[in-house]
Amino acid sequence: MFETRPDRDAEVVLIGRSNVGKSTLMREITGHTFDTGGKPGVTKKPNHYDWSSEDFVITDLPGFGFMSGVPDDVRERIKTDVVRYIEANAEKILVGILVVDGKSVIDIIDRHSGPDEIPHDVEMFGFLQELEIPAVVAVNKMDKVDDRDERLDALAERLGLYTPWQQFAETIAPVSAKRGSVDPLNEAVREHLHEAKRDDLFKFF
């Protein structure tokens, strides 16, 4: 199912739960329209946006986590596929963009923080770090958030980062994809591309 990846040596991936706005964000970055589902779980396989003249691809991976109307085993399989894809391509992935919903992410993380349970978002963030893939958390839908700094501080804490969140501008990027407000994300991604000596890819962000 995930064998459609173009043969490129440089990649940026978007990962995150269903319905956090990954596909909208992808459209904002690439200027290219993808199927964005009105319902969760529409993206079942990776969407690759490939510049054939460039050795570079941006990939929107299927959403994981709870999806209404989607059976547990299907959800688990999607998450396993996403994890395997990232592991298989880790050496080529220059940045992993973890997209979260700024309005609900804290509640979701807190609801799933039991002694035996690591919330998906925190787990994915740690997973990227484990694989030494630079992670940027795109905190989407920030136009709907009133207590912006408190919310972002709370998120930083749950990801194991210090507050205030502003110290981590290369890791936490508040955006509103629907409104086309994605500058903090572009800047964070460029920071990591620069570290990877890939300033040639700045034109995409």
**What is the pLDDT, as a whole number, of residue 75?**
80
Place of tokens 């955006």: 175
Taking residue 118's Cβ as centre, other Cβ atoms within 10 Å add up to 15
**What is the pLDDT, as a whole number, of residue 153?**
97
> Residues 36, 42, 66, 145: what is their CA dihedral angle, to the nearest 10 degrees?
0
Strands across the sheet containing 47-51: 47-51, 56-60, 10-16, 93-101, 135-140, 172-174
Q: Is the peptide bond before 6 cis (omega within 30 degrees of 0)?
A: no
**What is the pLDDT, as a whole number, of residue 71?**
80
**What is the pLDDT, as a whole number, of residue 35?**
57
Which of the residues in the chain have pLDDT under 50?
A: 1
Q: Domain 10-197: what homologous superfamily? A: P-loop containing nucleotide triphosphate hydrolases (3.40.50.300)
Question: How does DSSP assign 153-191, residue by residue?
Answer: HHHHHHTTPPSSGGGGTTTEEE-BGGGTB-HHHHHHHHH
Q: Label the pairing between strands 172-174 and 135-140.
A: parallel
**What is the pLDDT, as a whole number, of residue 144?**
93
Structure tokens at 95: 């940045």
**What is the pLDDT, as a whole number, of residue 56?**
92
**What is the pLDDT, as a whole number, of residue 87?**
95
Cβ pair 39, 66 in contact under 8 A: no
